[in-house]
Amino acid sequence: MPAIVIAGAGPAGLRTASLLAMEGWQVDVIEEHSEVGIPENCSGLLSVSGLNELGIDAESCTVNRIYGAEIFSANGTKLTVERQEPVALVVKRSEFDKMLFKEAVKNGANIEFNSKLIDVRRQHIFFQRKARGEAKKARVVVGADGVLSKAREIAGIQIDKKYFVQSYQERVSGTFDKTKVQVYFGSFAKGLFAWIIPESEGIARAGIATSLGINAREAFEEFKHKYSFEFETIERQSFMIPLGPPVEEPVKDNILLVGDAAFHVKATTGGGIIFGLNAAQKCAEAITKHLKHGSKLSEYKNLLKPINRELKIHWRIRSYLNSLSDDKLDKLFLKLKKAGIEEFLTEHGDMDRPSMFIGKLLKKPRFWSLLPLIFRLR
């Protein structure tokens, strides 16, 4: 019988499949869509450091290089962070996923399209293929089926809806600084923020994400109006993003959750690809140890500890930002600016690992007026 069945051929599922197949295990991936990477619901911003650590060369799907960011508070106070070297790549997400797909297939994984996970009963998986119910056996099941994970539901994990935001994004034409992303905070984007991620000087991905219950598309119109943006819409998309702490128990019996399904997502930004790929490595490691040496699958939880430590800091920062009114956020931005946060982040900032620079903040006397906040976030 196949050793492992993975539900979901997104980055987390494909990476897990690739690594396990490379170890020689028989891996089947079931994917509900007929193609990898479609529909494309992403801004495709990936840190250079994160990709390098993973050993992933995303050159073939890169459309732009980002050197920094402009971050705006509700009243327009701007923090600018800028490096000499690219800090992030803007990738065409469907191409990125296809690259991971080819790698997984090359390593020996088997991908079955139009196959939707329905249920797991011990070592039996039930799925729907072209309106027909089918079943297969698996010793281990990986739930890499994204934000609204069926595997998570089957594992009995309930997530409160306050831990999701609704995004709305348009691919637009206009005039953009192609070297920087822009991030806009304020009550018009309650729950996250609005963004502009340039593909070039003429095209960008502009979007917003808001708490559930708020109409994200209307919020996007409010954002455009507030800043008098006049974009030409090329494409539009809307999708949910998990925004909360990582799932505490990512293993239930023989089911392991990875990626968005397990909230392996930076709650500061909603970005989940780098963390999902890192978690996939831990997931593959835990499964290999289990199948080879009989160790418990729950070892996965231990392997995830360093990843979850960072994700929890992202979540504390997000919770703090969400608690601030526009006025308080403005005051915080001014205070940070005055203390020299722009120069500090230019030198020490890390898109993925806040623990790296929060520790360094403590060593700079000019930030000691922010000590209560720093200790709260650590």
Ligand X SMILES: Cc1cc2nc3c(=O)[nH]c(=O)nc-3n(C[C@H](O)[C@H](O)[C@H](O)COP(=O)(O)OP(=O)(O)OC[C@H]3O[C@@H](n4cnc5c(N)ncnc54)[C@H](O)[C@@H]3O)c2cc1C
Binding site for ligand X (CB under 6 A): 7-13, 30-33, 41-46, 116-117, 144-146, 150, 167, 169, 207, 239, 241, 259-260, 265, 270-274, 276
Nearer to ligand X, 250 or 276 (CB): 276
How far apart are CB 53 and ligand X at their closest, in Å?
Answer: 14
Tokens of 252: 């239930």
Three-state secondary structure call for residue 120? strand
Q: Phi and psi (nearest 5°) for 134?
A: -135, 165
How far apart are CB 166 and ligand X at their closest, in Å?
Answer: 9
How far apart are CB 217 and ligand X at their closest, in Å?
Answer: 12
Nearer to ligand X, 97 or 330 (CB): 97
- Strand 4-7 vs strand 140-143: parallel, antiparallel, or unpaired? parallel
Nearer to ligand X, 32 or 330 (CB): 32
Nearer to ligand X, 260 or 310 (CB): 260
Nearer to ligand X, 244 or 271 (CB): 271
How many CB atoms sit inside 10 A of residue 57's CB? 11
Distance CA 341, CA 126 (A): 52
Nearest to 266 by CA among 240, 300, 243, 239: 243
How far apart are CB 317 and ligand X at their closest, in Å?
Answer: 16
Nearer to ligand X, 308 or 330 (CB): 308
Contact 297, 290 (CB under 8 A): yes
Angle CA 193–200–82, to nearest 5: 60
Local structure of residue 29 (DSSP, 8 states): E
How far apart are CB 296 and ligand X at their closest, in Å?
Answer: 24
Q: One-letter amino acid identity for 314?
A: H
Contact 11, 97 (CB under 8 A): yes
Distance CA 269, CA 224 (A): 20
How far apart are CB 75 and ligand X at their closest, in Å?
Answer: 26
